Amino acid sequence: MSYLRVKSGLRSNFRLSTLALSVSLSLMSSHGFALEALDDESLADSTGEGLAFLPQDFGVVMQGTTYRDTNGNISSLNNPNQADLDNRANDTGYIRLIPVGPLTAESQDTNKDGAVNTSDQPVGKADIYLYGLAISQSSQNYGAARSSTDWNGRFGRNIDSWGSAINPWVFKVATEKDVPNFSAISPADAGKGDVSYLALEAPLYHADSDGNSADGVNAGIAGLSPAEQSAYNLKLGLWADIFVRDPKVAENLTSTGTQFDLGGAGRANRLRFQAVWDGFSLNGSNLKIFQTLGGATNTGGMSSFYNNTLGISGLLRLNSGDGQTLRASVSGTESKSRAEGAWTLLHDGSAADFATTSVAGSGASCNNGTQSAAPNYGATGCQYQVRQRAITDTSTAATWTPPSKSSVLRISTRETGNTGRLATPAINAGVAPSFDPNEGLFLYNPNINLVLGSLYQPLTVGVAPDGKNITLEIARIPNKESIYKQVYTNYADINPATNGGYYGSTCNIYQCGAQANLDGTRYQGSNATHSSITIGSTVYNPTTNTLEAYKGIEAVGISFGAMNSYANTAKATYTELQQRQRQQATVGTWTYNCSSTFFGGSCGNSSTGTMYDWVYNNNGTYETNDRQPLPANGTNSSNPGVVPSSAQFPTVTNRTWDASSATWMTADSTAQNFVGIVPSTIPAAPMVNATPSSAANNFGSAAIDGLLIQHMKITTKGL
């Protein structure tokens, strides 16, 4: 059972004028009320008008009217049991954002030719359904690491206590005296007035009680009870469906039909996303609504629009925790290895020319397989076999490991189910979708401290000159010392007593203006003038109260997809080229065609025959292979000798590469030129070096610090 406990009372100098009570209001499963008296001690020194309330055992979910059990079966519409209420697939209650009014001609003229006709693309407005809005406490303890289960679930557990009796939520009416008005006749203009405002204030943000901003721990929060720490351990989740509607088709809330077929049949589609933030705080935030002061004229960049109109100021503080110690780790040492690839034969020495498409080559044959033809001794392609392989040296750097993350904001779009592209609970019923826990945009430890105006520089709301649109404007800072010295910061010296009286300061996770002390507990202030937005690893300078993003390899903050450990590798690939080589060798000569005999027994009028064969290179020594015997010399006309014929050609075995003693050796320039490949110079041992690197999907940290909105004007524009 979950409750919202409401305690009437106020902190800090407000006189209570109503009954001290607390109201327990069930927002989830119970339907009862309870009253509880506040003790006098908690109301001491309270003056003024207002209401203090303290949500305890509190959570919010938006469930639909149709409940399904874990098997998908529909339960009783009017009597869901606790299991139905706890089933997050039933979180299909929604907020629908509906654009109204006709489309303008400007928006329909997509090709910007000044006319709206069939040459323009179809244009429609989008219906937005925000489902399953859930506010809870993380399932993990404050400061504990989050996992995919946490950043993929929309509800954790009820918030134990969103504040305390001393530091509750406050809804009050108050008056600020002597607020400078907009009159700026001169910088010394002293025009001022009183501003009464209606304010909603979240519990104050605890200050770091030990004053050590470098240890990454807020001792003021760390010393709280687990129940009070739950205010710093919130969880927010929702999912959305967005459809572009065909304005010519009537709305149908029971069937998608053709109402989303803008641009033709089959063009309907849906954008679906989920957003979950696990581990953050809203403490320190406030919102004020009031009537602005007067004095502004339409000169000096000012506007009479500022005078006596609706004014708003706010301080939005969404903090996840200190980022100074949020660092990845780099561990281990570099390791190196070498991998030798398989050899690829480029040319087998059976044809005269090289061919990239065939290892057999092209052109004239080397006649390796027959003894009836002479070998093609003169062709380079017959003298060489060539092969190559790749050698890859790899260096693996030290391992980069992401830190444990106590806060994760994740926006994702990838479903794990197979729901139809037009399925949506608002029209087709059904259950809440499931999303891939490791996909999406991840933001780690976001700290958003956004100052939106003040009582003397309000956010004004009005109607645009066209009478149709809304204008939001943060008033320009006038040239008036009593205002700009409250706003501007002297970073060289942040002490107003010595810096010329400049009180401006930045609101960040460490401080937010002048601190407050309630019952001996220090809280951060709420009167800073500059904003600070950081994501992930940061570096803080307490002297100037400035933050910047940490830029080292250990920085984390933004990633697309969940971060995992990563060891960077560097590779160098070399090409090794080898050859087997043979050449023509002379076996010897003999005489033949002897026709007469001279004195001494010599052969006259003879011819000389020469016999050749292949010899193979064996590490620089040429060796024979199956050499034929040389014919005997002729002696006379009765024994004229053997006439040369194919019988003296080398044997097939002599012509066979693999039957030889040829060895593979480093390719020489002839072999390189023949195949057109220049081999690499390969070091004896791996020389490539890998430096440690973060995961490829880690985009590091980000910081926008000291942001001052000096003047901003936004005017809405209908489509």
DSSP structure string for 121-152: PP--PEEEEEEEEEEEE-SSPTTPPP-HHHHT
State how far the alpha carbon of 718 is from the alpha carbons of 107, 111, 122, 250, 310, in Å.
9, 19, 17, 21, 23
**CA–CA separation, 554 and 537 (whole Å):** 8
Pick the more confident residue, 267 or 699.
699
What average pLDDT does the segment 512-526 reach?
94
- pLDDT of res. 7: 34
What average pLDDT does the segment 143-156 reach?
93
Q: Is the dihedral of CA 69, 74, 75, 81 positive or negative?
A: positive
Tell how far CA 666 is from the center of its chain: 49
Which has the minimum average pLDDT: 139-153, 161-175, 601-615? 601-615
Q: What is the pLDDT of residues 228-238, one digit of tens each?
A: 999 999 999 99
Please give the helix or strand (H or E) that residue 239 lies within, else none.
strand 234-244
Pick the more confident residue, 179 or 300.
179
- pLDDT of res. 717: 80
Residue 9 confidence (pLDDT) above 50: no
Give backbone dihedrals phi and psi of 406, rounded to 5 degrees, phi first: -90, -5
Give the model's confidence band at 428: pLDDT under 50 very low, under 70 low, under 90 confident, else very high: confident
- pLDDT of res. 100: 81
**CA–CA separation, 575 and 357 (whole Å):** 19
- C-beta of residue 457 within 8 angstroms of C-beta of residue 292: no
State how far the alpha carbon of 326 is from the alpha carbons of 320, 402, 410, in Å.
11, 9, 18
What average pLDDT does the segment 285-300 reach?
95
Residue 349 confidence (pLDDT) above 60: yes
Per cent of the chain over pLDDT 90 is: 72
Q: What is the pLDDT of residues 173-206, one digit of tens each?
A: 999 999 999 999 999 999 999 999 999 999 999 9
Q: What is the pLDDT of residues 78-90, one digit of tens each?
A: 577 788 778 888 8
Q: What is the pLDDT of residues 480-496, one digit of tens each?
A: 999 999 999 999 998 99
Give the model's confidence band at 417: pLDDT under 50 very low, under 70 low, under 90 confident, else very high: confident
Residue 39 confidence (pLDDT) above 70: no
The encoded tokens of residue 516 equal 């407050």
Residue 3 confidence (pLDDT) above 50: no
Give the model's confidence band at 37: pLDDT under 50 very low, under 70 low, under 90 confident, else very high: very low
- pLDDT of res. 157: 95
**CA–CA separation, 370 and 96 (whole Å):** 88
Pick the more confident residue, 300 or 364.
364
Which residues have a Cβ under 8 Å from the Cβ of 117 and sit 6 or more positions away?
none
Give the model's confidence band at 20: pLDDT under 50 very low, under 70 low, under 90 confident, else very high: very low
Matching residue, tokens 């980022």: 323
Residue 36 confidence (pLDDT) above 70: no
Give backbone dihedrals phi and psi of 329, rounded to 5 degrees, phi first: -115, 150
- pLDDT of res. 468: 82
- C-beta of residue 396 within 8 angstroms of C-beta of residue 567: yes
What average pLDDT does the segment 150-165 reach?
94
Residue 325 confidence (pLDDT) above 90: yes
The answer to whether the predicted template modeling score (pTM) of the entire model surpasses 0.75 is yes
What average pLDDT does the segment 61-79 reach?
73
- Assign 373 to helix, strand or coil: coil
Pick the more confident residue, 605 or 473.
473
Give the model's confidence band at 161: pLDDT under 50 very low, under 70 low, under 90 confident, else very high: very high
What average pLDDT does the segment 693-715 reach?
94
What average pLDDT does the segment 406-414 reach?
95
What average pLDDT does the segment 617-635 reach?
94
Pick the more confident residue, 247 or 27.
247
Q: What is the pLDDT of residues 649-699, one digit of tens each?
A: 999 999 999 999 999 999 999 999 999 999 999 999 999 999 999 999 999
Please give the helix or strand (H or E) that residue 578 lies within, else none.
strand 566-592
Pick the more confident residue, 331 or 65.
331
Angle at 10 between CA 7 and CA 15, to 5 degrees: 120
Give the model's confidence band at 2: pLDDT under 50 very low, under 70 low, under 90 confident, else very high: very low
Which has the minimum average pLDDT: 43-52, 286-295, 542-551, 608-617? 43-52
Residue 33 confidence (pLDDT) above 70: no
Give the model's confidence band at 377: pLDDT under 50 very low, under 70 low, under 90 confident, else very high: very high
Which phi-psi region, left, alpha or beta, contains residue 691 (left: φ > 0; alpha: ψ -120 to 50)?
Answer: beta
